Amino acid sequence: MAKERFDIHQHITTQIITAIEQGAGEFQLPWRQGGHVSRPTNISSKRAYRGVNILALWAASHACGYRSGVWGTYRQWAEAGAQVRKGEKSSYVVFYKELEFAQNDGTDPETRLFARATPVFAADRSTACTLEPVSNRSEIERIAAVEAFVAPSSA
């Protein structure tokens, strides 16, 4: 029997639906209840994830209780000098790659997007995570953290 292919679109859709259903009847969406609500960021590129990856990583953070919004592949954590803890499960993000397909009739090649699932781990699942609960910070530290978060937005 052939092994069934992993469908990243179905995986993320199911993950988001589950997160919404678990929060049904509550005032706030599940990823807004004490979790990390800024856009998830990649440890290597320092860029925020985009599109459906934001929702997928928010849902994973909520389901697993992660407090950090920093994510990376196993290799990216190793390059950053951290180690993903043994036995940790990954979450998935989707990346699209453009592929060109030659046409049999000699016309210009056709370009298609190909979705690729990439496993990533939250900082909470690596030795890089040394987070303290926000409630343990002083008011001055909390305000400084908010100002540091808002500053790049030019708001």
Encode 129-148: b = buried (16+ Cβ within 10 Å), e = exposed.
Answer: eeeeeeeeeeeeeeeeeeee
pTM equals: 0.64
Overall number of domains in the chain = 1
The closest alpha carbon to 52, from 2, 11, 5, belongs to 11
pLDDT at 39 over 90: no
In a domain, 139, yes or no: yes
In a domain, 15, yes or no: yes
In a domain, 147, yes or no: yes
Q: Give tens-digit pLDDT for 88-119.
A: 889 999 988 888 888 888 788 888 888 888 99
Owning domain of residue 89: 8-153
pLDDT at 131 over 70: no
